[in-house]
Amino acid sequence: MRHFISTRELSAASIYRILSTAEEMRKHPALLSENYIAANLFFEPSTRTKMSFQIAEKKLGMESLDFQMEKSSMAKGESLYDTARTYEAIGADMLIVRHTCAHWYDELIDRTSIPVINAGAGTGEHPTQSMLDLLTIYQEFGTFEDLNVVIAGDIKHSRVARSNVYALVTLGANVYFAAAPGFEDDSLGIPYVSIDEACDMCDVLMLLRVQHERHTSASFHSFSYLANHGLTMEREQRMQRHAIVMHPAPVNRGVEIDTRLVECERSRIFKQMQNGVYTRMAIISILLNEWGVEHDNFAEKYQTIITRQ
Ligand code: NCD
């Protein structure tokens, strides 16, 4: 693993390696052997992902370089490539990038001499979110095989859905979509169920935010969305006892989910955020290790802890 860009090519073994390292980071946090420097280049707004990368870096003993697009030379027209190469030239050991373009990394991969992590690529992928989601599911069920996972919401515009589909299918889960008309994406070959069927049969209900900022028409009605496609109080009652509710957040309260359910017993929404820190610590340390920069081999030390059931 040279960069962490997509879940598409990740093997089950690489995913379990990340999860086990993350579990170990959670239980026994450890500093890296040197003060490496991470450049966090966020070209799109972010609270959770950006802050949890910063906290992950801090817990590993790294320095974080922040970046504000509007105050940077991007405002003078500098490209992503030149910005990234600048951070590399001044001493960054790793680039963590979020960008509106679904394939921003094509400009960088094989053109940098430091690892690159995808922290969100337009409507493309969000692989670190997927890993923290998987860790949350694993902590709950101890396996992925034959779990019924329904991803419900604005599939069409969701990078979270895409990254999770690739990884969950690799791990042997039964993945379904539930989506309002216009929010479907048939390119992924995933079967659809209604939100009512989803609530009856799922082990995991993964809700997605309505991505208003990526919509081209303004025909969305939040009032009827909850009733027709969201998690209402009635639907939550129909879920199996053990089933959990997830959401990558930010949550549109009262749209994807009744506001009273955001912190209900089944909700793992804040747990997901916590897991984001450990998962990102794991990904950073594994990459530094793979590049031969970090010699304390976290990955090897921890890789046997979580294995395929
Ligand atoms: C997601 C994102 O940015 O893609 N949020 C996140 O990273 N926690 C989901 C979203 O914005 O809806």
Taking Cα atoms as reference points, which of 150, 140, 110, 124 lies closest to residue 238? 150
In this prediction, residues 83-87 reach a mean pLDDT of 95
Structure tokens at 30: 């450890």
20 & 110 share domain? yes
Residue 99: helix, strand or coil by DSSP?
strand
Q: Which of 68-72, 81-85, 180-184, 269-273 has the lowest mean pLDDT?
A: 68-72
Nearest atom in ligand 1 to 211's CA: 12
- CA dist., res. 270 & res. 258, Å (int): 16
Residue 6 has pLDDT above 60, yes or no: yes
In this prediction, residues 221-249 reach a mean pLDDT of 94
In this prediction, residues 258-276 reach a mean pLDDT of 98
Give one word for 253, left, alpha or beta, with left for phi > 0 and alpha for psi -120 to 50.
beta
- CA dist., res. 155 & res. 159, Å (int): 8
Ligand 1 centroid vs 210 CA: distance in angstroms? Answer: 10
* Residue-level pLDDT at 120: 98
Asked if the structure places residue 63 within a domain, the reply is yes
Residues lining ligand 1, CB < 6 A? Answer: 48-49, 120, 126, 129, 159-160, 209, 248-249
Domain count along the chain? 2
133 & 263 share domain? yes
Whether the bond into 181 is cis, omega within 30 of 0: no
Residue 309 has pLDDT above 50, yes or no: no
97 & 66 share domain? yes
74-111 burial by CB neighbour count: b if 16+ within 10 A, else e?
A: beeeeebeebbbebbeeebbbbbbbbeeeebbebbeee
Question: Which residue from 40, 104, 129, 277 has its CB within 8 A of the most atoms of ligand 1, so it is best to mutate?
Answer: 129
In this prediction, residues 188-206 reach a mean pLDDT of 98
Strand-by-strand arrangement of the 116-121 sheet: 63-65, 37-42, 94-99, 116-121
Question: Which residue from 40, 49, 98 has its CB within 8 A of the most atoms of ligand 1, so it is best to mutate?
Answer: 49
Nearest atom in ligand 1 to 49's CA: 7
Asked if the structure places residue 1 within a domain, the reply is no
51 & 105 share domain? yes
Q: Which of 71-75, 205-209, 246-250 has the lowest mean pLDDT?
A: 71-75
- Bridge partners of 244, per DSSP, are 204
For CA atoms 17, 19, 22, 26, give the dihedral sign: negative
Nearest CA to ligand 1 atom 12: 209
Residue 147 has pLDDT above 70, yes or no: yes
Residue 300 has pLDDT above 70, yes or no: no
Percent of the chain with pLDDT over 90: 84
How many CB atoms neighbour CB 116 within 10 A? 23
* Residue-level pLDDT at 296: 65
Residue 306 has pLDDT above 60, yes or no: no
Any idea what the CATH number is for the domain that residue 171 is in?
A: 3.40.50.1370
In this prediction, residues 11-26 reach a mean pLDDT of 97
Per-residue pLDDT band for 304 (boundaries 50, 70, 90) equals: very low
Structure tokens at 106: 């094509």
Asked if the structure places residue 2 within a domain, the reply is no
pTM to 2 decimal places = 0.94
DSSP state of 263: T
Residue 294 has pLDDT above 90, yes or no: no
200 & 84 share domain? no
Structure tokens at 167: 């990884």
61 & 174 share domain? no
Please report, for residues 18, 21, 168, 197, the alpha-carbon distance to residue 131 in angstroms, rounded to integers and kept in the order given. Answer: 8, 11, 10, 26
Ligand 1 centroid vs 160 CA: distance in angstroms? Answer: 7
71 & 188 share domain? no
Boundaries of domain holding 132: 127-271
Ligand 1 centroid vs 60 CA: distance in angstroms? Answer: 24
Percent of the chain with pLDDT over 70: 94
Residue 261 has pLDDT above 80, yes or no: yes
